[in-house]
Amino acid sequence: MSKLDSLVASTRQTLELIAREYTPAVFASSLAAEDMVLTDLILKAKLPIGIFSLETGRLHKETLAMLDRVKDHYGYEIALYRPQQDAVDQYVAQNGLNAFYDSVDMRKECCRIRKVEPLGRALAGNKAWITGQRRAQSNTRTTLQVHEDDPGHLMDKFNPLADWSEEDVWEYLRANDVPTNALHEQGFPSIGCEPCTRAIQPGEDVRAGRWWWENPESKECGLHVVDGKLIRIKSVAA
């Protein structure tokens, strides 16, 4: 069995375990390459796992286009969770549309409004959630496990691709003719909001293009646990 076959087999087992023992469970997709591997595995196996995306209002058009491409390819409509409009309006009125460039606190408050709060709604009522995170993606994910507790959301969290390399991901996508985000061909290995994500140079960390103006240690959006600790969001809202 090839390395990829072995990874696929263990990932299928993890997804089947979730479907069997953690229903209802949901998969949070950012519509990036890793997430398309999991989308392909979940939908082809017809597993009872819902797929959703956080539509922050600041996504690239290429990312939004993936919603239709998934629908065309799999006949599946990804559920969208959007921020509360009054919270967005208040942040913009008080701080400006792009205040996230001003400080880490301002950035985390924007992520809290546009991602963390909608994520809470998306996860409510589920026993587990699934992400496409990989251990090799950045220095904030080196201890990532396939199965973790998520104390912030009081449920189990699964990262079925924790052991996969970037090469494994792309080998799977090509071999299975999976639709992929056009941003990947433009130097974006990691997909996020348009104003906070840029292309990277060869040899850079795959998440180097996310919040590139910040220190590497602060580069998470508050959705995940790092080193066993919930990434806290320090609110600076009035």
Which one of 111, 122, 191, 200 is in contact with ligand SF4 (CB under 6 A)?
A: 111
The secondary structure of residue 194, as a DSSP letter, is G
Question: Per the annotation, does 11 bind a ligand?
Answer: no
Candidates 110, 162, 200, 208: give the one binding ligand SF4 (CB under 6 A): 110
Cα dist from 230 to 115, 189, 224, 226, whole Å: 15, 25, 6, 6
Cβ pair 211, 219 in contact under 8 A:
yes
Q: CA of 127: how far to CAs of 49, 154, 221, 232, in Å? A: 11, 9, 22, 22
By C-beta, is 52 or 164 nearer to ligand SF4? 52
What is the three-class DSSP state of 72? helix
Which active-site residues does the annotation give?
Answer: 221
- Taking CB under 6 A as the criterion, the residue among 22, 27, 52, 100 binding ligand SF4 is 100
Phi then psi for 3, rounded to 5 degrees?
A: -60, -45
Question: Using CB under 6 A, which residues numbered 162 to 221 contact ligand SF4?
Answer: 192-193, 195-196, 221
In the complex, least distance from residue 58 CB atom to ligand SF4, rounded to whole angstroms: 4
Q: Provide, rounded to whole angstroms, the least separation between the CB of residue 63 and ligand SF4.
A: 11
DSSP 8-class letter at 50: E
To the question of whether residue 122 is assigned a binding role by annotation, the answer is no
Stretch that binds ligand SF4, among 110-118, 124-132, 138-146, 165-173 (CB under 6 A): 110-118
Closest residue by Cα to residue 36 from 174, 191, 173: 173
Smallest distance from ligand SF4 to CB 149, Å: 25
Tokens 């080193």, located at residue: 227
Q: Is 6 annotated to bind ligand?
A: no
Residue nearest to ligand SF4 (CB): 193
The token pair at 220 is 């998470």
Give the separation between CA 197 and CA 3, rounded to whole angstroms: 31
The residue assigned the tokens 């796992």 is 49
Does 225 interact with ligand SF4 (rule: CB under 6 A)? Answer: no
Q: Under the rule (CB under 6 A), what is the footprint of ligand SF4? A: 56, 58, 100, 107, 110-111, 114-115, 192-193, 195-196, 221
Which residues carry a binding-site annotation for [4Fe-4S] cluster? Answer: 110-111, 193, 196
